[in-house]
């Protein structure tokens, strides 16, 4: 390896990315950057599957629970902060790891962000009022009608993302799927991407069991403590939204859990749809031994 390298570990939620990142961090004595857009927030631990204490202690981690849900933090902010942090980390190691399932945040670092049209404040406010009256299902249908391609990849439970895409369409008549050019900004470091995959039945079973484990670890209590802030963008997140509905009497607990599992599975499907379009990702079955993946990637890095 003759060039500074960012190793990105991607894949659907619940597939085992964290454990693999720890294996690489130990092998290369290096640091890990989280590109999970919900693990940034210190109030959200159980529902975002923040790494365990032993995992956090196994390697230096960055961008994990380093801010409050009350702070606005965009993908553009993340790109800026990571690009500022990387030179510092590359001073210590030739390899740095970035891991997470927030595809847009990973893309911001590896490719840069597309320039999007400005949306007038009047349009933004109008859409927010319509959302309050008509609900998120209406917003989802608006996006699906105007930009079905983007609808297939976006987190449809994330009202902030939906509002942005629908707002851009109203303001400019342009689709988010068309504005995402895919043209990469030049980076000064090399980028290697690997992904973990599983067949659908295995993945869905892992997701269902992961939700059950989160509930055992106190997800319901954590959500109860956050319901007063449910309108914040950070909390427009699978696992919390469904429990908020339960607390407000819109469904029983069993239904809330069913919806968490279903919506998480749907989210995983959208993640895979996005990542499968990236031909630079080398895929490994999630049951492959970590030592084998590290060895194979190390051989690849020798050619960098």
Rounded distance between C-alpha atoms, residue 296 and residue 298, angstroms: 5
| pLDDT tens per residue across span 58-73 | 999 999 999 999 998 8
| pLDDT tens per residue across span 273-286 | 889 989 999 999 99
Q: Which pLDDT belongs to residue 1?
A: 58
Q: Which pLDDT belongs to residue 185?
A: 76
User: Is the same domain home to 187 and 169?
Assistant: no
Structure tokens at 142: 């608006």
The whole domain housing 134 covers 121-179
Domain boundary among 179, 197, 224: 179
User: Is the same domain home to 165 and 18?
Assistant: no
The pLDDT-based confidence of 2 (bands split at 50, 70, 90) is low
User: Is the same domain home to 9 and 24?
Assistant: yes
HEC profile of 117-180:
CCCCHHHHHHHHHHHHHHCHHHHHHHHHHHCHHHHCCCCCCCHHHHHHHHHHHHHHCCCHHHHC
User: Is the same domain home to 132 and 272?
Assistant: no
Q: Which pLDDT belongs to residue 179?
A: 77
Residue bearing tokens 């105007």: 146
User: Is the same domain home to 207 and 262?
Assistant: yes
| pLDDT tens per residue across span 179-188 | 776 566 789 9
Q: How far is CA 164 from the centre of its chain?
A: 17
User: Is the same domain home to 138 and 74?
Assistant: no
Rounded distance between C-alpha atoms, residue 291 and residue 64, angstroms: 25
User: Is the same domain home to 230 and 149?
Assistant: no
Q: Which pLDDT belongs to residue 302?
A: 85
Rounded distance between C-alpha atoms, residue 253 and residue 239, angstroms: 12
Q: Which residue has the higher pLDDT, 17 or 300?
A: 17
User: Is the same domain home to 297 and 194?
Assistant: yes
User: Is the same domain home to 126 and 170?
Assistant: yes
**Which CATH number fits the domain that encloses residue 191?**
3.40.50.300
Q: For the chain, what is the domain count?
A: 2
User: Is the same domain home to 40 and 189?
Assistant: yes
Average pLDDT for 76-93: 95
CA distances from 272 to 31, 67, 74, 258 (A): 26, 28, 22, 21
In sequence order, which residues have a C-beta less than 8 Å from that of residue 22 and are 6 or more positions away? 32, 51, 55, 58, 59
| pLDDT tens per residue across span 223-281 | 999 999 998 989 989 999 999 999 999 999 999 999 999 999 999 999 998 899 899 99
User: Is the same domain home to 171 and 280?
Assistant: no
User: Is the same domain home to 11 and 74?
Assistant: yes
Q: Which residue has the higher pLDDT, 2 or 86?
A: 86
Q: Which pLDDT belongs to residue 243?
A: 98
Q: Which pLDDT belongs to residue 55?
A: 95
| pLDDT tens per residue across span 111-157 | 987 777 888 888 888 888 898 889 889 999 999 999 998 898 888 88
**Which CATH number fits the domain that encloses residue 166?**
1.10.20.140
């Amino acid at each position: 390896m003759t060039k500074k390298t960012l190793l990105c570990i991607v894949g659907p939620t619940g597939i085992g990315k964290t454990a693999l990142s720890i294996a690489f961090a130990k092998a290369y004595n290096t640091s890990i950057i989280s590109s999970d857009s919900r693990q940034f927030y210190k109030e959200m631990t159980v529902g975002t599957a923040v790494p365990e204490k032993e995992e956090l202690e196994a390697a230096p981690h960055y961008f994990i629970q380093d801010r409050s849900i009350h702070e606005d933090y965009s993908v553009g902010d993340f790109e800026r902060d990571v690009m500022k942090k990387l030179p510092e980390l590359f001073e210590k190691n030739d390899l740095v790891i970035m891991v997470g399932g927030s595809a847009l945040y990973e893309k911001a670092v590896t490719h840069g962000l597309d320039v999007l049209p400005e949306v007038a404040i009047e349009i933004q406010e109008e859409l927010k009022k319509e959302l309050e009256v008509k609900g998120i299902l209406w917003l989802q249908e608006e996006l699906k009608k105007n930009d079905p391609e983007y609808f297939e990849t976006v987190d449809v439970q994330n009202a902030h993302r939906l509002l942005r895409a629908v707002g851009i369409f109203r303001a400019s008549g342009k689709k988010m799927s068309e504005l995402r050019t895919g043209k990469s900004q030049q980076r000064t470091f090399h980028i290697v991407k690997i992904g973990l995959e599983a067949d659908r039945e295995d993945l869905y079973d892992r997701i269902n069991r992961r939700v059950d484990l989160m509930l055992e670890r106190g997800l319901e209590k954590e959500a109860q403590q956050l319901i007063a802030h449910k309108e914040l963008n950070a909390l427009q997140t699978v696992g919390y939204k469904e429990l908020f509905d339960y607390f407000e009497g819109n469904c029983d607990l069993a239904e809330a859990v069913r919806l968490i599992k279903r919506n998480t599975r749907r989210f995983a499907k959208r993640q895979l749809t996005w990542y499968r379009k990236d031909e630079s990702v080398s895929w490994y079955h999630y049951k492959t031994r970590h030592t084998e993946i590290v060895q194979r990637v190390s051989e690849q890095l020798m050619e960098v």
